[in-house]
Chain A
Amino acid sequence: MQKPTPRRKLSLLFPVCLVCVFAGSVRAQNFHGIQFHGFANQAFLYSSDNNYLTMQSNSGSWRWTDGAISATDSLTDSFRLGAQIHMYQLGELGGANLQLDWATGDYKVNDSFGFRAGKVKTVEGLFNDSQEVDASFLWILLPQSTYPVDNQSFTLSHLGGDVYGYIPLGKRSGTLHYTAYIGYNSLDENGGYVKQLADDGLAFKEPPGGKTYGRDVRWAAAMRGLTAGCSAIVMGLDGSAPAGIPQVPSFLVNTEYAQFTKGKFYLAGEFRSTPPAKALTLELKTFPVPDDYRAWYAMGSYRLASKLHVGTYYSHYLNKSISTPTPAKYSKDWVLSARYDFNPYFYGKIESHFLHGTGLGYYGTDNPNGLKPNSDILAAKIGFSF
């Protein structure tokens, strides 16, 4: 991928600044019943050692820009159409390419049953379907053990259909919310997995994709603020490469999660795992994929004031398939974060990471001198949404 020229860097930053300057005069637009919403944000990342997330972060990097526009039209009480286009630049990933985040027709038969079809956000865990909606949470980086930002566009949505709804369990038992889906998913040709495979010598004519299906069930307790649930997703990948046809057979990812909100406090945690023994076949050869991971995080936050929100989390990733005790086997991240809302549309965040291990977020081509085992990271972001 070509590195953008300084002019191109400015061209990505300028519209974000323009939007932020005129934040106060922009609100969600509504034309003939069609609602338009959008967001844009610009971040800065510095790391004490190692370059992180394909950015030259060891020198300080501004190459992290994100923006999206959505349009939604409720044609009837039960039927809604909508779509969202998105662009991002994360170091060498993304680029000035517009992506379709989602485009759905949504029909709700009743509160217990509805269905969506098109390109649909994938409901998995607490944050998968909203991981790119920076304005909706405190953190600059969600726990990378479960929501790797460099592969966000792969896990964000699927092409297919969902059924969803909720089932009341009684006054004292809360409600059960379900989503089940089936569809097709493919790697982002400008995303982290494709870059990592290319760095390892495997380039694709087209990014690999395959069938995906899964479900999410979450219980909202009668006690206000408590939610717990579990997700399961099955996915496989087929691709086309000059070296042959790579295939990864379907594998299952399980996630369990819970969150609790009480007044100004928020607590949440997730645990995610994949089974061992994944393999990549290329023509008649089989290569084991050393990816048997256990990932979890625990987070908490507190609203110090109506506009000031602070929090912390610990994110843990362990690849059990790597037998030698090297830093590449794990990633342990202690994080402190703060967010200030200047007004309903414009906000700023600052965050520090104390990152041990090199299991996640690092690319060999960006660290030609090798990786140090630990790195401290400082991130800052301004954002706007309407």
Chain B
Amino acid sequence: MMKLQYKFRWFLLLGILAACSAASAQEVILVANKGLQVTAISAADLRAIFLGTKTRFSDGSHAVPVTLKGGPVHEVFLRHYIGQSPDEFRAQWRKTVFTGQGAVLKAFDSESALLQYVAATPGALGYVSRFSPSDDVKPLPTSK
């Protein structure tokens, strides 16, 4: 009986940890300009676009990735979708800029500013914790 209780507590703890992890990822929603024809983006393409190695979506249209300047949503997005910390992401882009291989992504102080830009810019792609229909953007789910 003691052994069962012990195992139950471990499973409960693991379940809570998994739920927290899933909750962290669900706090970040990928949003794109409504004019974008693609309806989903692969995890690999998303990573390549935000790291600058890929500049187009799967339909050939130009991608304009934008980021937040900081904050928990920015950190969760980078860790979950890009696999880097904010410092690693910044170092990666500094290397890109100082080697002449790219320009730094546009970054915004607030989610509302990011949403306004994504709504107004063809091909724009960003991430927020929430949005409303009035923001005039569309969610872009990831596919494996």
Q: A28-B104, A111-B56, A166-B53 are in contact. Are A133 and B90 (CB under 8 A)?
A: no
B46-79 CB mask vs A (1 if < 8 Å, else 0) is 0110000111100010100000000000000000
Closest to A28 in B: B104
Closest to A68 in B: B98
List the 6 closest A-B pairs by CB distance, nearest first.
A136-B95, A133-B98, A102-B100, A77-B62, A129-B99, A72-B103
Closest to B56 in A: A111
- CB of B91, distance to nearest CB on chain A (Å): 5
CB distance A344 to B90 under 8 Å? yes
A61-87 CB mask vs B (1 if < 8 Å, else 0) is 000000010101010011010101000
- CB of B112, distance to nearest CB on chain A (Å): 20
Residues of B within 8 A of A78 (CB): 62
CB distance A104 to B87 under 8 Å? no
Residues of A within 8 A of B85 (CB): 303, 306
CB distance A385 to B100 under 8 Å? no
A39 at the interface (CB under 8 A from B): yes
A135 at the interface (CB under 8 A from B): yes
A307 to B91, CA, bound (A): 12
A196 at the interface (CB under 8 A from B): no
Residues of B within 8 A of A74 (CB): 103
B14 at the interface (CB under 8 A from A): no
CB distance A130 to B100 under 8 Å? no
CB distance B97 to A35 under 8 Å? yes
Q: Which of B1-60 contact A (CB under 8 A)?
A: 44, 47-48, 53-56, 60
A307 to B83, CA, bound (A): 17
CB distance B98 to A84 under 8 Å? yes
CB distance B98 to A341 under 8 Å? no
A294 at the interface (CB under 8 A from B): no
Residues of A within 8 A of B44 (CB): 171
B94 at the interface (CB under 8 A from A): yes
Main secondary structure of the interface of A (DSSP, over half): strand
Residues of B within 8 A of A215 (CB): none
CB distance B100 to A121 under 8 Å? yes
Residues of B within 8 A of A385 (CB): 94
Partner of B98, one of A37, A166, A177, A224: A37
CB distance B56 to A70 under 8 Å? no
Partner of B87, one of A39, A111, A129, A307: A307
- CB of A271, distance to nearest CB on chain B (Å): 22
Closest to A137 in B: B91
A288 at the interface (CB under 8 A from B): no
Residues of B within 8 A of A116 (CB): 100
A275 at the interface (CB under 8 A from B): no
CB distance B55 to A111 under 8 Å? yes
A108 at the interface (CB under 8 A from B): yes
Given contacts A37-B104, A224-B47, 18 further A-B pairs with CB under 8 A are: A35-B104, A37-B94, A39-B98, A68-B98, A72-B103, A74-B103, A110-B56, A121-B99, A121-B101, A129-B99, A130-B98, A133-B94, A133-B95, A136-B98, A175-B48, A175-B53, A307-B87, A385-B94
By the criterion of a CB under 8 Å from any partner CB, how many residues of chain A are at the interface? 41
CB distance B83 to A130 under 8 Å? no
* A-B contacts, 13 listed (Cβ < 8 Å): A28-B104, A72-B103, A78-B62, A80-B102, A110-B56, A129-B99, A133-B98, A135-B94, A136-B95, A136-B98, A171-B44, A177-B53, A225-B83
Q: Which of A78-113 contact B (CB under 8 A)?
A: 78, 80, 82, 84, 102, 104, 106, 108, 110-111
A120 at the interface (CB under 8 A from B): yes
Q: Which of B85-130 contact A (CB under 8 A)?
A: 85-87, 90-92, 94-95, 97-104
- CB of B120, distance to nearest CB on chain A (Å): 16
A70 to B93, CA, bound (A): 14
Q: Which of A138-167 contact B (CB under 8 A)?
A: 166
Residues of A within 8 A of B101 (CB): 106, 121
Q: Which of A239-287 contact B (CB under 8 A)?
A: none
- CB of B106, distance to nearest CB on chain A (Å): 9
Q: Which of A304-327 contact B (CB under 8 A)?
A: 306-307
A116 to B101, CA, bound (A): 9
A35-78 CB mask vs B (1 if < 8 Å, else 0) is 10101000000000000000000000000000010101010011
Closest to B45 in A: A168
A102 to B48, CA, bound (A): 25
Closest to B60 in A: A110
- CB of A37, distance to nearest CB on chain B (Å): 5
Closest to B47 in A: A224
CB distance B100 to A82 under 8 Å? yes
Closest to B106 in A: A30
